[in-house]
Amino acid sequence: MYLVLLGPPGAGKGTQAKRLAEKLGLPHISTGDILRQNVLLDTDLGRQAKDIMEQGLLVPDDLVAKMLDGRFNNPDIKKGFILDGYPRTLSQAYSLDEILASKGLAVDLVVYLDSSDQVIIKRLTGRLTCSKCGANFHTINMPPKVKGLCDSCQGPLYQRSDDVEITVCKRLEVYKQQVTSLIEYYKKAKKLHSLNADLGAQVVLNQIIELLVSVKA
């Protein structure tokens, strides 16, 4: 199953992708995570992406395409993947189709996690991320059992530098500039299914699983 999770920052793509990847035994590929790892390791790509990410802007398509092409050479994608945070532009959607077609593969399903600005701002400005395993918590909605530490791996929690309100608003603005053409593209391809991502994470997960079952059938 080649599944793409589309939606605004804070819609829960990462949370759903992690749970689905575990449940289905598929790799979770998050372009945001790969970029953050590159920033942390101070690679060439990380140095080029750092400032752009901190401003809430998009890293240039060619850089992300090259990075993803490398990731897709890993044989673990033979069974499928859960793609989170890519594509973000129409040109990335074309690149994705091209890369997959060159391997005889194609996207099966695009789930659009729709969420309101109000919910997104609350979710992201209160989000805490584990620096070790990437798990997400929330200061109010989902606090960790021990303050400042991840429930799963005890790694230290931090607030992503792009989760401050001014950058969240910028990320939302950038997202809105791109999303309409992406939605049209996947609608035309009859691959798009929308869900209300303002609902609880477990409700949304169950709905995605129902969709996956219906697509497989």
- Give helix 31-40 / helix 61-72 axis angle, nearest 10°: 100
Min dist. Cβ of residue 35 to ligand AMP (A)? 5
What's the CA angle centered on 121, arms 119 and 122, to 5 degrees? Answer: 65
162 part of the interface to ligand AMP, by CB under 6 A: yes
Identity of the residue, 53 or 208, whose beta carbon is nearer to ligand AMP in the bound complex: 53
For residues 166 to 205, the per-residue mask of contacts with ligand AMP, x marking binding by CB under 6 A and - elsewhere, is: -----x----------------------------------
* Owner of token pair 């477990």: 202
Min dist. Cβ of residue 217 to ligand AMP (A)? 31
Q: Which of 1, 37, 46, 52 binds ligand AMP (CB under 6 A)?
A: 52
Q: Using CB under 6 A, which of the segments 52-60, 110-118, 131-139, 202-210 binds ligand AMP?
A: 52-60
86 part of the interface to ligand AMP, by CB under 6 A: yes
The C-alpha atoms of residue 87 and residue 65 are separated, in whole angstroms, by 10
35 part of the interface to ligand AMP, by CB under 6 A: yes
Q: Using CB under 6 A, which of the segments 28-36, 37-45, 134-142, 183-191 binds ligand AMP?
A: 28-36
| List of long-range contacts for 87-90, beta carbons under 8 Å, 24+ apart | 87/4, 87/182, 88/31, 88/58, 88/175, 88/178, 88/182, 89/58, 89/61, 89/178, 89/181, 89/182, 90/178, 90/181, 90/182, 90/185
58 part of the interface to ligand AMP, by CB under 6 A: yes
9 part of the interface to ligand AMP, by CB under 6 A: yes
Q: Using CB under 6 A, which of the segments 86-94, 151-159, 186-194, 199-207 binds ligand AMP?
A: 86-94
* 52-83 as b/e: b if 16+ CB within 10 A: ebeebbbbebebbbebbeebbeeeebeebbbb
107 part of the interface to ligand AMP, by CB under 6 A: no
Q: Is 123 a catalytic residue?
A: no
Min dist. Cβ of residue 88 to ligand AMP (A)? 4
Tokens of 34: 């790969």
Residues at the contact surface with ligand AMP, assessed by CB under 6 A: 9, 31-32, 35, 52-53, 56-59, 64, 85-86, 88, 92, 162, 171
